[in-house]
């Protein structure tokens, strides 16, 4: 039997995507190796600064070597232990490998590898999201090869520029290899969970991808829970994870991981552990606050400021969710018996997760220098995503100008976190940069709420319905973006 023209086009697209999968991870590995070389050079040429490393070692020694299970009694030279049990187990591995923290060069080597891993994960996330934004699930009859080439050029330039900016942060490099903060560990785990969530929603036609989507979701939730167990700022992603991705079994996975990793402390002193590891009312010192250096001490520690920021945080989450059309998508999802129907695509998954995290950072009660690791890798992508999703021909001069002015807030953020000690003008500039980024995201999300449509079961399961069946026997030649 001679294959039809439609079958041939599907086979060609399938072959192209198989090559695309291999290329994504090959590029990510190469970028990660390049970054590893850079981190090793930085670790060798620039001096290490002792801040919390010795305190980390003292805390894990008390918790696991001396057997102390009451979190309120575990102290280090810089203060009490205020991180969940995942932090304790990770740094205990370093404690043993570095001979109680005395061979610090081994820890620097590991953190150089962690930074490289984070960059590789970021690279893969950017490529997959950019390809997903531009190609979509369009039939060969619905889009000419010329238009696809133009879109691929735009998306390729977008993720390449975003990745270059993500790799260029002096402060983030020092957080990893010259400071050894646990913020870097949490950032890598959080980025890994974002990538897994994105892969689970990739518009791939590969049989292995369609059959393994639930596993990707489960592993993503497990990785996300591991990030929260290292430092609880990972909870900033929680609204997007719970509202868009998490099903019953994935929520159970997150909870089970927290119980398992913290069981040593939960079974003996549960309230002590929960109160210190997830201390939501913790008051920080003003002298380390990058974002509120303008405030007097009494105002900075006042409870009214904390309540006001929390209210603004929740309000911003609701506003951005409505702007993106999330409530409409949730209503459509509830109308299906299968949870796999009407899934968020990979590009929008990356945007929504990263935006949720950025909103939390923008309304944080305080930001220390090491907190830049929470959000830095996603900032260039968020600054460029509205440009990347626009159709049209790639025009070098105009697009270069568009990219440059969109990245100005990202440059401001890096500048502010390299100013020491914190200054009032730097705090004002940081809030201005966050406002500009959120405004660009708000503008980009405005195109989404008009693009929410119900996805048929055949589409969600990865099949290729005949375009003529979508319109009652008449093929619609107008290209349509694949929405939620």
pLDDT tens-place values along the chain, 484 residues long? 444 444 444 444 444 444 466 788 899 999 999 999 999 999 999 999 999 999 999 999 999 999 999 999 999 998 899 999 999 999 999 999 999 999 999 999 999 999 999 999 999 999 998 887 766 534 333 444 444 444 456 666 778 899 999 999 999 999 999 999 999 999 999 999 999 999 888 866 566 666 677 788 889 999 999 999 999 999 999 999 987 765 666 778 888 999 999 999 999 999 999 999 998 888 888 999 999 999 999 999 999 999 999 999 999 999 999 998 888 777 776 665 444 434 578 888 999 999 999 999 999 999 999 999 999 999 999 999 888 877 666 677 788 888 899 999 999 999 999 999 999 999 999 999 999 999 999 998 887 755 544 333 333 333 444 444 444 444 444 443 333 4
Query: With contact defined as beta carbons under 8 Å apart, do 122 and 191 qualify?
Result: yes
Taking the C-alpha atoms of residue 85 and residue 263, their distance in angstroms, rounded to an integer, is 9
The separation between the first and the last C-alpha atoms of the chain, rounded to the nearest angstrom, is 37
- The angle subtended at Cα 348 by Cα 232 and Cα 464, nearest 5°, is 130
Phi-psi region at 231: left, alpha or beta (left = phi > 0; alpha = psi -120 to 50): beta
pLDDT of residue 22: 73
Taking the C-alpha atoms of residue 364 and residue 349, their distance in angstroms, rounded to an integer, is 23
- The angle subtended at Cα 190 by Cα 187 and Cα 196, nearest 5°, is 140
Query: With contact defined as beta carbons under 8 Å apart, do 372 and 175 qualify?
Result: yes
Taking the C-alpha atoms of residue 473 and residue 366, their distance in angstroms, rounded to an integer, is 59
> Which residues lie closer than 8 Å to 406 by C-beta, 6 or more apart?
383, 384, 386, 387, 440
pLDDT of residue 393: 65
Query: For 192-213, b where at least 16 C-beta lie within 10 A, e where not — what string?
Result: bbbbbbbbbbbbbbeeebeeeb
> Which residues lie closer than 8 Å to 88 by C-beta, 6 or more apart?
59, 60, 63, 64, 81
Taking the C-alpha atoms of residue 78 and residue 369, their distance in angstroms, rounded to an integer, is 16
Cβ neighbours around 24 below 10 Å, total: 19
CA dist 291 → 286, 312, 417 (Å) = 10, 16, 9
pLDDT of residue 335: 61
pLDDT of residue 7: 45
pLDDT of residue 414: 96
């Amino acid at each position: 039997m001679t294959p039809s023209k439609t079958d041939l086009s599907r086979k060609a697209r399938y072959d192209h995507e198989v090559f695309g999968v291999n290329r994504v991870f090959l590029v990510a590995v190469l970028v990660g190796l390049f970054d590893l070389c850079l981190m090793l050079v930085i670790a060798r040429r620039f001096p290490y600064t002792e801040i919390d490393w010795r305190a980390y070692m003292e805390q894990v020694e008390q918790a696991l070597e001396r057997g102390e299970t009451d979190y309120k009694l575990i102290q280090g030279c810089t203060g009490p232990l205020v991180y969940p049990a995942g932090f304790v187990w990770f740094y205990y591995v370093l404690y043993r490998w570095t001979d109680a923290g005395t061979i610090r060069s081994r820890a620097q080597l590991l953190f150089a590898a962690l930074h490289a891993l984070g960059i590789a994960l970021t690279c893969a996330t950017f490529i997959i999201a950019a390809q997903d934004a531009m190609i979509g699930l369009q039939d060969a009859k619905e889009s000419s090869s010329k238009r696809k080439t133009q879109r691929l050029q735009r998306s390729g330039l977008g993720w390449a520029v975003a990745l270059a900016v993500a790799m260029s942060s002096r402060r983030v490099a020092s957080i990893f290899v010259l400071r050894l903060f646990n913020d870097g560990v949490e950032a890598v785990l959080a980025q890994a969970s974002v990538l897994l969530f994105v892969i689970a929603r990739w518009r791939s036609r590969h049989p292995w991808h369609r059959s393994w989507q639930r596993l990707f979701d489960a592993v993503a939730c497990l990785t996300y829970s591991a990030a929260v167990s290292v430092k609880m700022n990972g909870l900033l992603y929680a609204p997007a994870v719970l509202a868009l991705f998490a099903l019953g079994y994935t929520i159970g996975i997150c909870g089970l991981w927290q119980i398992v990793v913290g069981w040593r402390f939960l079974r003996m002193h549960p309230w002590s552990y929960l109160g210190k590891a997830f201390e939501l009312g913790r008051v920080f010192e003003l002298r380390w606050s990058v974002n509120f250096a303008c405030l007097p001490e009494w105002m900075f520690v006042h409870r009214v400021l904390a309540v006001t920021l929390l209210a603004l945080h929740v309000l911003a989450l609701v506003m951005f969710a409505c702007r993106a059309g999330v409530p409409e998508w949730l209503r459509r999802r509830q109308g299906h018996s299968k949870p796999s129907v009407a899934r968020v695509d990979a590009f929008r998954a990356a945007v929504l997760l990263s935006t949720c995290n950025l909103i939390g950072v923008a309304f944080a009660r305080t930001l220390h220098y090491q907190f830049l690791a929470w959000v830095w890798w996603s900032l260039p992508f968020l600054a460029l995503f509205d440009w990347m999703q626009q159709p049209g021909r790639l025009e070098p001069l105009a697009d270069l100008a568009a990219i440059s002015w969109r990245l100005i807030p990202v440059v401001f953020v890096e500048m502010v976190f390299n100013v020491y000690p914190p200054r009032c003008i730097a705090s004002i500039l940081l809030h201005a940069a966050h406002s500009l980024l959120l405004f660009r995201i708000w503008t980009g999300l405005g195109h989404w709420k008009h693009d929410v449509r119900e996805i048929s079961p055949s589409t969600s399961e990865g099949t290729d319905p005949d375009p003529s069946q979508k319109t009652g026997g008449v093929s619609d030649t107008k290209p349509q973006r694949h929405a939620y």
